[in-house]
């Protein structure tokens, strides 16, 4: 199942290479998520990304920024996974003022 959501993108990691003869394309985007009923506010969560191409489209942007993300939900018998398949930047977060 595919759906869209708005998220604050805080950062990302990417790796594409070969380790011990196995091709690896590992990409993670860090976004804000609600803490939920047991608390108040947000925390940063890691979300796997479909491919390095998704990150290449955003890596030049200043962080953090608000974006519309497209997620694909996949399920196996043992677990469910949310995979980011697209990121469309909406606007940059203004710089925070430092306390005096």
Kindly list the domain boundaries of the chain, sorted by start residue. Answer: 2-16+23-92
Residue 15 — pLDDT band, cuts 50, 70, 90?
confident
Average pLDDT over residues 1-23: 92
SS3 of the chain: CEEEEEEEEEEEEEEEEEECCEEEEEEEEEEEEECCCCCCCEEEEEEEECCHHHHHCCCCCCCCEEEEEEEEEEECCCCEEEEEEEEEEEEECCCCCCCC
Q: pLDDT (tens digit, 9 = 90+) per residue, 55-84? A: 999 999 999 999 999 999 888 888 888 899
88: how many CB neighbours lie within 10 A of its CB? 11
The percent of residues in the chain predicted with pLDDT above 70, rounded, is 91
pLDDT higher than threshold 70 for residue 98 = no
Q: What pTM did the predictor assign?
A: 0.80
What class has domain 2-16+23-92? mainly beta
């Amino acid at each position: 199942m595919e759906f869209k959501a708005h998220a604050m993108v805080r950062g990302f990691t990417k790796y594409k290479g070969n380790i011990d003869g196995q091709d690896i394309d590992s990409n993670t985007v860090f976004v804000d998520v609600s803490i939920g009923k047991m608390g108040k506010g947000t925390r940063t969560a890691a979300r796997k990304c479909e491919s390095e191409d998704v990150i290449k489209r955003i890596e030049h942007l200043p962080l953090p920024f608000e974006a519309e993300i497209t997620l694909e939900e996949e399920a196996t018998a043992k677990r469910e996974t949310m995979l980011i398949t697209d990121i469309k930047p909406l606007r940059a977060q203004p710089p925070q003022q430092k306390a005096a």
